[in-house]
Amino acid sequence: MSGDVGPADDATAGVAAADDTGDGDAADRPSAGGPLVAVRDLTVSFGDIEAVSGVDLTVERGTLVGLVGPNGAGKTTALRAITGALEADEGDVRLDGDPTSELSAREVARRVASVPQETGLSFDFPVRHVVEMGRTPYLGRFDGHDAEDAAAVDEAMAAAGVERFADRSITEVSGGERQRVLLARALAQETPTLLLDEPTASLDVNHAVATMELVRDIADDGRAAIAAIHDLDMAARYCDRIVVIAGGRVRADGPPADVLDAAAVRDAFDAEAFVGRNPATGTPAVTAFPRSEVDSRRVHVVGTGPDAARVVARLAAAGHETSLGVVPEGDAAAVAAADASARVVTVPPFAGVDDESLAAASELAADADVAVVVGGDGGYSDGTDPYRMDSCDRIAGAVERVVEVPSDVAGEDLLAAVADATA
Amino acid sequence: MRVRRRAVAWSTALAAALAVVVVVSAGIGPVRIPPAEVLKIVLNAAVVPAGVEFGTAGVGPLALPGVEFAYRSPFAFPVDDVHRRIVLLVRLPRILLAALVGFSLAAAGTVMQGFFRNPMADPSIIGVSSGAAVGAVSFIVFPVALSTTLTLPLLGAVDVGVSYGAGVSLFAFVGALVAAFGVYAIATRHGRTPVATLLLAGVAVQTFLGAVISYLQLRAGESLRRIVAWLMGHLSGAAWSEVAVAALVVPPLFAVLLAYARDLNVLLLGEEEARGLGIAVERTKRILLATSALITAAGVAFAGIIGFVGLIVPHMLRLVVGPDHRILLPTAALSGGAFLVAADTAARSGTAELPVGVVTAAVGAPFFVYLLMNREVYEL
């Protein structure tokens, strides 16, 4: 995909050249250095309701910032305020150093391009014509499209992968194709900053990844992008920074690995979450669960493998203080426990359970309100090793209350069992 | 560039079609005149300025005191003098006025449909027609106002005299603009004019003005017949002076609309997206509204309320040339001219003359139904 994207120099040269021919707005020339977007103490209200209050957001060149948060958090409002479509009640938005309120619509359109979630267009314009509309901020009233405009349009259509249906009507293409047409239109604007509102919402996996790769490349070219994204895994994978917005306020702002933890998700989305690692990309992978409203307990888990991992993840997400052991190093359950910041007793792989680790695990268990044994025997038994069976019993024996759950236990049943045992 | 070529090609073809319709129409009537003779009469009447003389009293269409333009007619075909008079004094002014009015209404209708993002909008949607009707009807009912108000300098550039017809036109024109401005003022808050509010304000004002018209009709007495004729649209009795005024007013206004054709395309995306693409939305809307109101007012002032031209012609042309206003606007305007000339020809060539509004509505309503049946209607 990245091969389709025009070289960085072309894109920036296009912007600069257009500025040279611009109608005398010298202030429009991007200044070197300084953030491309600087939002300070932004408050926007609709009537009595503050959709966004006191938001600060700075976007430097070369960065892709992900805006995440629940529905109605104020992400779209923040994006609309950046383009000047909404007026700020308080605070200010600066684009490349200049306040949005002092820039004309045309000047703003040369600095920021938006990819909206949907377009209101219901007349059957050909796709190519819609992309050509992206050149509007560079055209005088009586200008036609020149070679430079045509090149920008071709490049944008190739990058967004919409050439195949360039001559079809915008009213006839699918929702996902429409979204890519809007992306192409924004690319044709050749702005230093790109704002995307749920750019992957109606795309299939292939095009969702292609879109994010494209936006990533744009950021790597020294431009900047802000994307409101619901897919937290996608956000973690591609963004340099994640800004968590909830209730109109910024709850967290930083690199994905720092920002996306279970507490942040619980706080922002009002959902229980387990944040693991995506094994393919190594970036945080968020799994959300419905809110269970259980009282927090100390729970020790006895078991190994993916089944125990699931149990640890669900317990941790529900807010239980979880520990695990004994498990071999690198076991799926050990990885999950590490991601959930749970205490865990491990032994080297294939080493078997020694007395020392057994004692450590028993101590953790003794400290717990309840022990959960996964799969009846904690998965320790392969039917040949009576010592292992015994170790399960010895750890569980350290706790007063023991719950045995089947290896395929459902999340709700697990939480209910723990709640019953500790009631 | 491809767009410009298409626009020029379509416009040239339709301008030629309009010319043909005009020539054919001028031959149709109680006295049949072959198109070739009409053409000869028109060419004979064409004059070119051949020189300027000073000192004598001015004559001719560009008369200035003390300056006399000498004219030369390059053609001198032998034609029947009665036919010449019929074509030049009776039929041609009416036909050309029809062409200009149709042109204005179709242009304004195209802009309104784009502006409201609704192919069912027409020029009357912002109250222009109702306002014109109230102006014209109140003048017809209370012609006393004649002596006080015709001192307005609007038509001063052309020597129209203080005729009854000019008074009706002037009142209609002013009424149209007042109504349009009223709708705009009602819908505007804090410098923003939401299109949906504008639409509803237009409906409210139209309803109110409709009540005023009904009341005036009750009070009309003797002049009721004249009111009905005006309300149904009429082009009979058109004078060259009216054609001259329309020909002076319409082209510059149309040029403004044409200059905003691309902005109109972008506005179809919705106001926020248009703004994101660098369109100064509120200013563009004001310019488009004011220009459409003026060009519509110029049309209805002379011809009364002629429905369906501004609604159907843009829609038909959109089906043919597509939604791009750079092509749609000139082609719809030219087609509107041709359509109204043809409709008026039909209106006057029957045994009893019909108001042209009856013909356009009789053709237009079935077409409207056809559009509904074919689901060409977009949701409001």
pLDDT at B45 over 90: no
Q: Cα separation of A347 and A388, whole Å? A: 13
pLDDT value at position A11? 39
- Residue B293 near residue B105, CB atoms below 8 Å: no
More confident residue, A15 or A399: A399
User: In terms of pLDDT, which residue wins out, B334 or A290?
Assistant: B334
For A33, the 3-state DSSP assignment is: coil
Bigger pLDDT: B281 vs A32: B281
- A307-320, pLDDT tens digit by residue? 889 999 999 888 89
Within this chain, domains A2-270 and A298-422 share the same CATH topology: yes
Contacts of A123 in chain B (CB under 8 A): 117, 268, 318, 323
In 3D, which of B224, B207, B287, B292 has the Cα closest to residue B254? B292
Choose the most confident range, by mean pLDDT, from A21-30, A121-130, A368-377.
A121-130
- pLDDT band of residue A29 (cuts 50, 70, 90) is very low
- What pLDDT is attached to residue A184? 94
Q: In this complex, do A104 and B280 lie within 8 Å of one another by their Cβ atoms? A: yes
Which residues of A have a CB under 8 Å from any CB of B? Answer: 80, 83-85, 104-110, 112-114, 116, 119-125, 129-130, 133-134, 136-137, 139, 141-142, 144-145, 185, 189
> What pLDDT band is residue A115 in, cutting at 50, 70 and 90?
very high
**Chain A interface includes B378 (CB < 8 A):** yes
- Does residue A65 have a pLDDT over 90? yes
The structure tokens listed for B114 are 């784009």
- Mind telling me how many Å the CA of A172 is from chain B's nearest CA? 14
Whether the pLDDT of residue B49 is over 80: the answer is no
Q: Quote the CA–CA distance of B141 and B171 in Å, as a whole number.
A: 12
Asked if residue A352 has pLDDT above 50, the reply is yes
Q: Is the pLDDT of residue A293 over 70?
A: yes
What's the whole-number average pLDDT of chain A?
Answer: 84
- Bigger pLDDT: B53 or A356? A356
Closest-CA residue of B relative to A133 is B266
The nearest CA of chain B is from the CA of A117 a distance in Å of 11
pLDDT of residue A30: 47
Interface touch A123/B323, C-beta < 8 Å = yes
> Contacts of residue B3 in chain A, CB cutoff 8 Å?
144
Cβ–Cβ under 8 Å, residues B122 and B110: no
Q: What is the mean pLDDT of residues A3-20?
A: 40
| B227 contacts B140 by C-beta, under 8 angstroms | yes
Contact across the interface for B275 and A84, Cβ inside 8 Å = yes
When CB atoms are compared, the residue of A85, A123, A129 closest to B272 is: A85
Per-residue confidence (pLDDT) for residue B148, from 0 to 100: 46
pTM: 0.80
Give the mean pLDDT of A228-244: 91
Task: Give yes or no for residue A107 having a pLDDT over 90.
Answer: yes
Res B330: pLDDT: 96
String of b and e for B73-105 (b: at least 16 CB within 10 Å)?
eeeeeebeeebbebbbebbbbbbbbbbbbbbbb
Nearest to A122 among B117, B260, B279 (CB): B117
On whether any CB of chain A is under 8 Å from the CB of B270, the answer is: yes
Indicate if the pLDDT at residue A180 is higher than 50.
yes
DSSP 3-state of B278: coil
Whether residue A131 has pLDDT greater than 80: yes
Give mean pLDDT, residues B224-249: 86
User: Stretch B308-330: mean pLDDT, rounded?
Assistant: 89
Summarize the confidence of residues B270-278 as an average pLDDT. 89
- Greatest mean pLDDT range, A3-17, A122-136, B157-171, B325-339: B325-339
| Facing B269 at nearest CB: one of A121, A137, A139 | A121
Domain ranges of chain A: 2-270, 298-422
Instruction: Kindly tell me the number of DSSP H helices and DSSP E strands found in chain B.
Output: 16, 2
Q: Spell out the CATH class of A298-422.
A: alpha beta
Q: Give the integer Cα–Cα distance in Å for B41 and A274.
A: 90
B108-123: average pLDDT: 86
Name the residue of chain A whose CA is nearest to B4's CA.
A144
Which of A116, A119, A137 lies nearest to residue B278, judging by beta carbons?
A137
pLDDT, mean of residues B292-312: 88
Of the spans A140-144, B23-27, B193-197, B231-235, which averages the highest pLDDT?
B23-27
Cβ contact A85–B323 (<8 Å): no
Selected residue with higher pLDDT from B241 and A196: A196
Judged by a CB distance cut-off of 8 A, whether residue B64 touches chain A is no
pLDDT for residue A137 is more than 50: yes
pLDDT of residue A212: 92
Residue B379, pLDDT above cutoff 60: no
**Contact residues on chain B for A110, CB-CB shorter than 8 A:** 278
How many C-beta neighbours within 10 Å does residue B118 have?
18
Lowest mean pLDDT among A123-127, A139-143, A272-276, B25-29: A139-143
Confidence of residue A203 (pLDDT cuts 50, 70, 90): confident
CB spacing of A110 vs B265 below 8 angstroms: no
Q: What percentage of chain A reaches a pLDDT higher than 90?
A: 33
Best residue of A80, A110, A123 to probe chain B, by most B CBs closer than 10 Å: A123
Q: If you average pLDDT over every residue of chain B, what do you get? A: 84
B-chain residues near A122 (CB < 8 A): 117, 268, 378
What's the pLDDT band for B241 if we cut at 50, 70, 90? Answer: confident
A389 band by pLDDT with thresholds 50, 70 and 90: low
Give the 3-state secondary structure of residue A150.
helix
* Architecture, CATH, for domain A2-270: 3-Layer(aba) Sandwich (3.40)
The CATH superfamily of B2-45+80-373 is: ABC transporter involved in vitamin B12 uptake, BtuC (1.10.3470.10)
Q: Report the distance separating Cα A307 and Cα A373, nearest Å.
A: 11
Flag whether pLDDT at B149 surpasses 50.
no
Rounded to whole angstroms, the Cα distance separating B125 from B310 reads 10
Which residues on chain B are in Cβ contact (under 8 Å) with A137?
Answer: 277-278
Would you place residue B144 in the very low, low, confident or very high pLDDT band (cuts 50, 70, 90)? low
- Minimal C-alpha gap between B293 and chain A (Å): 22
As for the ipTM of the complex, it is 0.79
Relative to beta strand A64-68, strand A241-246 is parallel
| Residue A33 confidence (pLDDT) above 60 | yes
pLDDT of residue B192: 81
Chain A's closest residue to B268, CA to CA, is A121
**Is the pLDDT confidence value at A1 over 50?**
no
Q: Span A64-83, mean pLDDT? A: 90
**According to the model, what pLDDT value does residue A145 have?**
80
How large is the average pLDDT for residues A264-282? 85
- Taking 50 as the threshold, does the pLDDT of residue A10 lie above it? no
Residue B223 confidence (pLDDT): 83
Per-residue pLDDT band for B287 (boundaries 50, 70, 90) equals: very high
